[in-house]
A and B are shown apart, each in its own frame.
Chain A
Amino acid sequence: MPIRQPVDVVVVGAGVVGAACAYYASRSGLSVAVVDRGPVAGGTTGAGEGNLLVSDKAPGPELDLALLSLSLWRELAEELPEDIEFDPKGGLVVAAGDASLGALSASAEEQRASGVEAYHVTPDRLRDVEPHLAPGLAGGILYPQDCQVQPALAAARLLHAARRAGALFLPGEEVLEIYGEPGGGGVRGVRTSRRELAAAVVVNAAGTWGGRVAALAGVQLPVQPRRGFVLVTEPLPPLIRHKVYAAEYMADVASGSAALQTSPVVEGTPAGPVLIGASRERVGFERTLSVPVVARLAAQASALFPVLADVRVLRTYHGFRPYLPDHLPAIGPDGRMPGLFHACGHEGAGIGLALATGSLIASVISGEKPALDLAPFAPDRFDPLVPCHMTEEWAS
């Protein structure tokens, strides 16, 4: 088994989060190897819609992370090739009735206080903002900061930039072991299906499979798959300008229930097809198409945009969001094993949160003070054996 020269950092996972970690770490002068059992963007990144959202986040650490990440995406969009399809399209959240509009307006008010731009749209103006919306909606909130990228290409371009800065990419190699100093010391490297890689730092960016990678280092991280379906329509002219979703979506995102939740999330793409989500259910890694779920998504989307009833769905696909019980990602060093870092568990927000995550991880590895307090994201916060954390106030 070939043993490579030691590297500073091994990143496990070549999704968008792993690519971002590699990008920022190699730009800080660290030598990096990215290992993935599959190709780049082969997991949840390749199944995402590419949302960079602030609109669906309540004030708190995730919103702070999202705002930081968005500013980084805007910077990076200038540097990376155009094919990442960065589009500052804005998000529009609509409410069907006065009750949900009230709740939506109240949460927008709180978001504004945390630095989110949010503008009320009256019912008579809704169709100026989105001409094909169904009539009769009570109103909405426009979030101009919401953006979209093509997630697979964004991950590939980030990784490509990291490689140009010296990072090594080893696709098709599964990490079989993360080993440390004998007697419970720090990380010394990883053993893959093809080689041994010596490194003092290992970053777990394995997304939905992050719990399995954590287990290779002997620590627990309760990442679970939360399945979502997306419907893809035939190519259409630009009909839907924003990412449009119903107010109920926020409640679904925040819910911890394993049962199915669906709420309409509809958006166009530069290539023409409209993407329709979003469902959430915890059914393990079940891969067969669920007719009730796609039927529900179809019904909700055509209620929101009646024009879509007459178009055809060419494809459906599913992805498994990496879900952690408090809906916050695990970002930062693992107190249980020196040198082990986690950057996973972003649930449905991984594309949006990737850059802040990568940048924070690179800061900590380099010994700099991170731009945000990482305590709420402490990876060992779920471990009953780790006594005390600052996370209680956020966990409620």
Chain B
Amino acid sequence: MIRRILAMTVKELLQLRRDWRTAGTLLGMPIVLLLIYGYALSFDVRDIRLAVVDLSHSRASRDTVQSFLSSGYFRHVATIDDTEALDPLFDSGAAQAALVIPAAFADDIAGGRTTELKFVLDGSDSQTASTILGYARQIVASLTPGLYKVEVEPPIGAAPLVWYNPDLKSSIFLVPGLVAFILMVTTVIATTLAVVREKERGTMESLRATPLAAIELLIGKTLPYLLVASLSATGSLTLAWLLFDVPVRGSIGWLAVLTVIYLAGGLGWGVFLSTLAESQQVAFQIALLSSMLPTLLLSGFVFPISSMVQPLQVISHIVPARYFIAALREVVLKGVGPEVWWNDALALVAYGAVVLLLATIRTVRSL
């Protein structure tokens, strides 16, 4: 059994080495995706164009403006003396936010009275606006705690919708999901194609006439892809650590265990799909759709599961990435052990077992 599996694995690796397109896709795609998504899929807001209306002209007002600018989030674009002049700035997009310091500001502080700062926001992009608002609140709160009351006045009706805690960098949240996404898509596509290719070329018929059992064929065939996908996973996490400062706080061992369970499920799904398709073209499409869409949309990678409509929340329970991402965030970001994420791990094991069983049954029957 071992020899036959080994023969299959060696053959598969040799073919993978010759097929530079597939090999390149398996190893290079994760890196490209990580770079694209890592930089593009950021909910952080930087370089916010800030206009200042300082009616106080005092030291206290200048200090306040300075704290905004030194926070690193804001870039000063204009200082004006009249709130009426703000409108053209917002209309043209020259300013995204404005800080209005009332004339009585310095006196109020000196007299120990409550004073008011006005923060005006362009709310046309509600997500960005709510993020900026979060920054502003933080900065004001850090000035002299309890001293100021912040009043927000969005000129366009903004409905704040807070997705991620704005003071956390969003890449830290996104990277675990990204790793899950990349691994699922590449393993499912690679394994589906690897099996369907044999069918399309006619070599499957010859394989079936040899003593090679269906289970040996499956193990031998998927083992190389498990290997390559594990390499991809390691590369993705290393790159995320180097480029986006995503730390791996938890145990590498647990991380590996979780990843392998998750990959086994993806491989099983790929093999299952391969029993449904006769041509590589069809196989590629069903593999891409069935791995990419659920992992992108229904896993909590980008859109939080709790904010989905009820039917989608129910469906998300059969998306393995949901559990993997949840567990990955716990392990990678918080560094906590299995006592916290054991139920996610269990769900992954269950998913893997069911899918591999289905794949084996289908393969034995269809081969």
Chains A and B form a bound pair: no
